[in-house]
Structure 1
Amino acid sequence: MVRTVFAVIYIVLLVLGTLPRLFRMKKLAPTLSPEEKDRLVHKTPDSFGKGMIKASGSTVEVKGLEHVPERAVLVVCNHQSNFDIPVLMGYLNKPIGFISKVEIKKLPIVSTWMELMNCVFMDRSNRRQSLQAIKDGIELLKNGHSLVIFPEGTRSKGKEMGEFKTGSFHLAVKSGVPILPVTVNGTYNILEANDNKIKPAHVTLTISEPIYEEQYKDMDLTELAAYTQHIIASKL
């Protein structure tokens, strides 16, 4: 419990400490290229992700960084824990935005950073808004910004994976970007396995080879989701 309280206080201070840089990032010149803007903006989320892992006392082992393309990608990842997001921000070594639930927009400071990171907020209870969110994500990918999806739709809170939903794979198919399968393992041991009390754990982040358009163009969404899930599951 002491570690949990310390970690929460540390994380709150981390968030508040980003305010000066947040104001500077909001004033970036609109003429900057997507790559340059992402590079500048994501310095803080990357540092924040590592800070959250440090606060939990956990360690992260990364495998397969050489598989990360320089171009925009759709990162497809399994979802074990709330700590998956800081692990991806801090250790994937690539500027990324997230397809996020719309409720996160209520969080001050955090939601503003997410907008700068080109995150897309999705209200799964509103079909029309969900479709618009997918369209927005496709445009971001076409414009050179990478996005992360968790196709299970919710945290598994353990090692077992839920079935991948097919809808979010429209993001790759409609934009033509590579799919980057990423496997996270052990994050649930930081929080969810301990009655939501933070404890140190060892996390492995495994990046598999990208699936390029030439490989998936003849697959339907069900086949593509199952193929991607198989790759991710094989690294657990």
Structure 2
Amino acid sequence: MDALWMLSVLLVLSVLLLTSSTFVFYFKKFFYVAYMMALAVIAIPICILKCGGRDIENMRVIRFMVRHVKYFLGLRFEISGLQHLQTDGPYVIISNHQSSLDVLGMMEVLPDRCTTIAKKELMWAGTVGMICWLGGIVFINRKKTSDAKNVMCDAANKVLADKIRLWVFPEGTRNQKGDLLPFKKGAFHLAIQAQVPIIPIVFSSYNNFYKRKEREFNSGTITLKILPKIETKGLTADDVTSLADQSYGIMRSAFLEISGKTPQSNGPSSH
């Protein structure tokens, strides 16, 4: 009887997965969150045993454990420009931000001794929040500008002192509108203060396979284009706006190119 019941459930699931795009959307979303939390349960003790607690070296463990998740979601990545990450010393990576799926692309190319800046709410996301903390992720309160500036200042000092790399999303929030949002200035203040180069990474649009409003989540290919580094040596706080605008321009052009989109009018950086 139990076997028959299980067979019936599997049959219903199979029919729904084949016929209902909305069911597929929610099923994949639930699976993604649940599976990442389960992976974190395994990774937490490994990270504690390996490094004794919070340490950027734990990102190696996280990277290793997450890289296979794309296969379960039917995603693949095409990557170009990996040679641009072969840069010695610290630097700041900036990329566009469309959804939590960005984590999968990040883990495809994440260099050693690199962590990211994330919203403070993520710290309370159960086992995922714990593994993020163990990986040395820098948490920022986006609602308090003064706190955010202090975190960025501390992050710049940490980049220099510990010779680490930081991954920042200058749009400041997730965006799936088919273009880039204006950039906030924090990442550029950070890079100039630390006098380290910026390496832009662009994710192609997810709209051909993932549409949140329409409840669609199909298989698809994501293109990651790593652009040449932008030097900041000799730049001062007066150059932040021009640096942000320069970065925005080259990243938006790359985004439209790899996404097969037509250029539209859009603003550069914001304050």
TM-score (norm 2): 0.75
Among residues 8, 16, 19, which one is paired with 2:41 in the alignment? 19
Number of corresponding residues: 231
Q: Residue 207 and residue 12 in structure 1: after superposition, are their counterparts in 2 closer, same or farther (change >3 A)?
A: same
Matched, 1:57 2:79: no
Give the whole-Å Cα distance in 1 for the aligned partners of 2:175 and 2:51.
41
Which residue does 2:7 correspond to in 1? none
Farther off after superposition, 164-173 or 200-209: 164-173
> Is the 1:73–1:147 contact (alpha carbons within 8 Å) kept by the matching residues of 2?
yes
3-state SS of paired residue (2:201): strand
Which residue does 2:157 correspond to in 1? 139
- TM-superposed CA distance for 1:27, in Å, is 3.9
Which residue does 1:184 correspond to in 2? 203
Farther off after superposition, 174-183 or 215-224: 215-224
Matched, 1:121 2:139: yes
How large is the RMSD of aligned CA atoms in angstroms?
2.7
Which residue does 2:172 correspond to in 1? 153
> Is the 2:92–2:197 contact (alpha carbons within 8 Å) kept by the matching residues of 1?
yes
Among residues 107, 129, 151, which one is paired with 1:89 in the alignment? 107
Give the whole-Å Cα distance in 2 for the aligned partners of 1:218 and 1:125.
23
Farther off after superposition, 47-56 or 62-71: 47-56
| Paired residues for 1:188-203 under 5 Å | 188-193=207-212, 195-203=214-222
- TM-superposed CA distance for 1:194, in Å, is 5.9
Which residue does 1:130 correspond to in 2? 148
TM-score (norm 1): 0.84
Which residue does 1:8 correspond to in 2? 30
> Is the 2:203–2:224 contact (alpha carbons within 8 Å) kept by the matching residues of 1?
yes
> Is the 2:195–2:233 contact (alpha carbons within 8 Å) kept by the matching residues of 1?
no
Give the whole-Å Cα distance in 2 for the aligned partners of 1:52 and 1:137.
30
Q: Residue 55 and residue 216 in structure 1: after superposition, are their counterparts in 2 closer, same or farther (change >3 A)?
A: farther
Structure 1 or 2, whichever has the larger Rg, is 2
- TM-superposed CA distance for 1:204, in Å, is 0.5
> Is the 2:171–2:183 contact (alpha carbons within 8 Å) kept by the matching residues of 1?
yes
Percent identity between the two aligned chains: 23
Q: Residue 210 and residue 7 in structure 1: after superposition, are their counterparts in 2 closer, same or farther (change >3 A)?
A: same
3-state SS of paired residue (2:139): strand
> Is the 1:72–1:145 contact (alpha carbons within 8 Å) kept by the matching residues of 2?
yes
Matched, 1:45 2:62: yes
Which residue does 2:93 correspond to in 1? 75
Q: Residue 128 and residue 66 in structure 1: after superposition, are their counterparts in 2 closer, same or farther (change >3 A)?
A: same
